[in-house]
Structure 1
Amino acid sequence: MNKLAIIILHKNLNNLLFKCLKSIQDKTKFINYHIYIADTGSDQDKLTELQHFLKENFKKQKNATLISFNYYDFGKNVNEIIKNYLQDEKIIVFCNNDIEFITNCLDEMIETYKKHPNTGTVGAKLYYGDGSIQHKGIFIEKRNNELAITHNNLRERDNFKVEDDLFVKGNTAALMLMDTQTFKEINWFPSNYIDSLHDVEMALRCYLLNKKTILCGKALAFHYESQTRKSNGRLLTQDYQTLKKFVFDNETQLKEIL
């Protein structure tokens, strides 16, 4: 399998990031990966602590790179990393710094990707810290002149059940895999969103290219979302209006999925 790039944006919350990185190391059997950590303005003491952690924990594999940005813009940061820093990686995994693997997510997501031809994105089943479901695919539906957007099975409990692959309308980029070719075909990461919903537009772009959006039911992880989102999980009006414009501009082609 081709080398895999894991992209993580980060600022200050080292306790969460270190837990995320350790879970990647501990749970992953697919060893041919490289982690790109984009620090978007950590305080100096936090940055020094992060540099020390990477030196101590990744010195043997040499498979982690720290990249400094003087601004935070999820789409632009990700696009710049892929354009300027990726080497020969053919698969990309977007991963939040507040993710902690429960199962061997990368191995399972890779297997799902390999099983399904013409895959757009592969997502994982995510849980809040209390064990309730945070993400099992994104639900989006056009209702008159508005959009209904949520996560499937939100806040339900399933005791961390391992499931078969599910075809869904969208996956959250909190933990999402796609190949670099598809990423470029959908015209990179949308950079006109402030905090959320760019991943929903990505899923719809994949649909327009007849690409499948799949949730890997064997990839389970915690997502401590409320600790890192600047909007505390609430949709920003501007982001909603941006997605709404995309949907209505492509209403005819998206009719079946919405």
Structure 2
Amino acid sequence: MSANIPPASAPAILEAKLQHSIGGLLLDVNFTLTKPWSVLFGPSGSGKTTLLRAIAGFVEPDSGHIARGDTVLFDSSSNHALPPYLRSIRSAAQTARLFPHKDVRWNILYGNGWLTRPLDASQIAEQTMALFRIDKLAGRMPADLSGGEKQRASVARAVVSAITFSGTGTPLLLLDEPFSGLDAALRDDLLAELREWLDRWKVPVLSVTHDIGEAFQLDAEVLKLAEGRIVEQGPAEAVLATERIRLLSRLG
């Protein structure tokens, strides 16, 4: 599949064309997301995290345009930048950010109101904590958690916030290497269950990974980023074929 050209029948989840300089890197991308789960894949320093932060509204690009459907999130030509809290975007950073004086359950429910759907936020939170294997940690404080447990709690909060979103439409969920540091077996189980859980609620995802196996397991649309530019976009088996062969040859 050629980059930046979605199938005519697929509605755009996100459209982004932006340029931004950070350090010695010029981030210059133009793409459209149309798949339930998309993955940003590329080496460290290629601009993946900066791109997620620009979409979320935590970084204002030097120039460009970002839109979700009819809602313009950012447009430099009209000097328009929608604040992060007004964007139909939810995100979890690579480093867990939890309120240290509140327990896990409170952290996960933070910022979530009541659903307009059949279930309420507390029920969604309980189910999501069980999915992330942290339901038995709900009453613990962040200081009593391991690094992996904190990260799972942080991602769970973003997931609950996306599912219980009370604005117009369904938000895009941004995940920056959500399961880095976890053992492979647990990561694989969580990925499979999270994919199914978010599919149920029709929550689209753009995530960052360095792991080829993760991209293949997710059956994701891959945006391959190199030196600040998207050099290829398409199914994992096409975009990452060379990397997969190289990895298998090393393992062999």
Same fold, judged at TM 0.5 (above) = no
Coarse TM-score class (shorter-chain normalised): under 0.3
Larger RCO (CA within 8 A; separation ≥ 6): 2
> Normalized against structure 2, the TM-score is what?
0.26
> Normalized against structure 1, the TM-score is what?
0.26
